Structure 1
Amino acid sequence: MELSELRRLVNSGEGTHIEFKKKVADPLKITKEVVAFANATGGYLIVGVSDDGKIDGVREPEGELYILEEEIRKRCKPSVHYTVHKVPLNRNIHVLVLEIKESTQKPVFLAYNLKTGRGKAYIRVADKSVQMSKVVRNILKESRRELIQGFSYGVNEQWVLRYLDEHERVTLKEFSEKAKISQEDAEAVLVSLTVSNVLEVLPSEVQDIFRLKPNA
């Protein structure tokens, strides 16, 4: 990667596909961003740039990269694929750019407990990395299947589609309460409609939001 391309990325600011880190001070926290990009559509983790977009670079980039790559190797389950770009600012100072690939084995988890492998899954939403809900994890799992079983538009499917014709969005809790069905049944409907590209989900750590997919 050339310095001109790095500047173009930095000038774009942090967002869905770009995250700045001044240095590898907390490798676990940075690995969370890696997982979030892998669970979304990929992105650039740029080390050596402050939150305000100032390109300072890092000294001893090899050491910083080693620490970060070890954390990624140990904690990303399944493995995350990425490309490393070292962009020199001068002889001693570089900016590290990790180009994270979208995972083909979603959801990817960040293993907090290395002995048990237990962890949490995150996904990139705007300029934040948020923890995935069970519903979003199930949507990603179902989307990985090569063949998606067809489904009929039953009473519950018709209810939520009518509701979204009149309202912009709905949450799992709203659907369950207003349609007077269990959360398990409501979840199954929302997962099926989302995997079938009828709905789209906007992940949130509070409540996921579902809405009609454009041109659905």
Structure 2
Amino acid sequence: MEIKNIIGETTEYDKKLKLEVKKPKSWCKSISAFANTLGGFLIFGISDDNQIVGLETPDKDAELISEIIKKRLNPIPEFKISFHTEDGNVVLIVQVFKGEETPYYYSGDGLLEAYVRIGNESVKASPIELKRLVLRGRNTTFDSQNSMYKVEDYAFSKLRERYKKWTGNSFDEKDLVSFGLATEDGYLTNAGALIADESPIRYSRIFCTRWNGLNKSGGTFDA
């Protein structure tokens, strides 16, 4: 793995001059952010102006990095540590893979914090971002979550009218379940609650998109 390729071809990287054992949060937050976002590289032994200065004890640092990640990150993300030597200087490259069990938290000082990658920075996840990470980790979405509202208390006259116009068929009660708008035990999902005639979910909006074509890359976009 060439350092110049990582720095030159991707923004998903962070760098540290040296390993700060006593300040693990200073670099562990990047591990958390990479795992919670799209993955990335954390490089030890590079100065702020991208000069390779190397590490004095790269083998020991590699062991410490692995130990600290396993101790401070929960759950432990998938990562790989490799060495790169240039002009006698050895740097460590920690490749962090995009995680499937989000959110990946940093644990320390009595705090449990999740970070995300925004541009070239690792920032603490906002409440909304944290909720998205939780849903992603559960392999689900907000729309598919069950609501507290019963199907029998709400009407879908606008949906039925539009469905009839578009398909020529009547919209049956069983379609609410098959379309993911209700559960089999008679409760609306969040999607169903949003589409109901008098939606009980306030301060929300629905955005619809249509792609004219066989795929997103080849079709035109209508909002």
TM over 0.5: yes
Computed over aligned residues only, the root mean square deviation of the Cα atoms, in angstroms, reads 3.2
Match of 2:13 among 18, 30, 51: 18
Question: What CA distance in whole angstroms lies between the structure 1 residues aligned with 2:77 and 2:194?
Answer: 39
Q: What TM-score, normalized to structure 2? A: 0.62
**1:127 deviation in Å?**
0.8
TM-score, normalised with respect to structure 1: 0.64
Q: Secondary structure of 1:59's match?
A: coil
User: 1:52 aligned to 2:49?
Assistant: yes
Residues 128-187 of structure 1: per-residue CA shift (max 9 Å, x gap): 11101221111122223445524147379xx9xxxxxxxxxxxxxxxxxxxxx99xx55x
Q: Where does structure 1 differ by over 6 angstroms across 4 or more consecutive aligned residues?
A: none
In the alignment, what sits opposite 1:211?
none
Number of corresponding residues: 162
- Which of 94, 97, 115 is the equivalent residue of 1:122? 115
The higher radius of gyration belongs to 2
Structure possessing the higher relative contact order (Cα contacts under 8 Å, 6 or more residues apart)? 1
CA contact (8 A) 2:45 2:92 kept: yes
Q: 2:137 pairs with 117, 138, 144, which one?
A: 144
- Quick one: distance in 1 between partners of 2:62 and 2:222? 44
CA distance in 2, matches of 1:129, 1:62: 26
CA distance in 1, matches of 2:122, 2:140: 30
Percent identity (aligned): 24
Q: Greater share of helix residues, 1 or 2?
A: 1
Match of 2:102 in 1: 106
Cα drift, residue 10 of structure 1: 2.8
Identify which of 29, 33, 58 aligns with 1:32.
29
- Residues 1:59 and 1:89: Cα distance change in structure 2 (over 3 Å): farther
Structure 1 residue runs of 5 or longer lacking an equivalent are 160-180, 199-213
Structure 2, unmatched stretches of 5+, are 145-179, 181-190, 210-220
Of residues 78, 89, 94 in structure 1, which corresponds to 2:90?
94
Which one of 69, 72, 92 corresponds to residue 72 of structure 1? 69
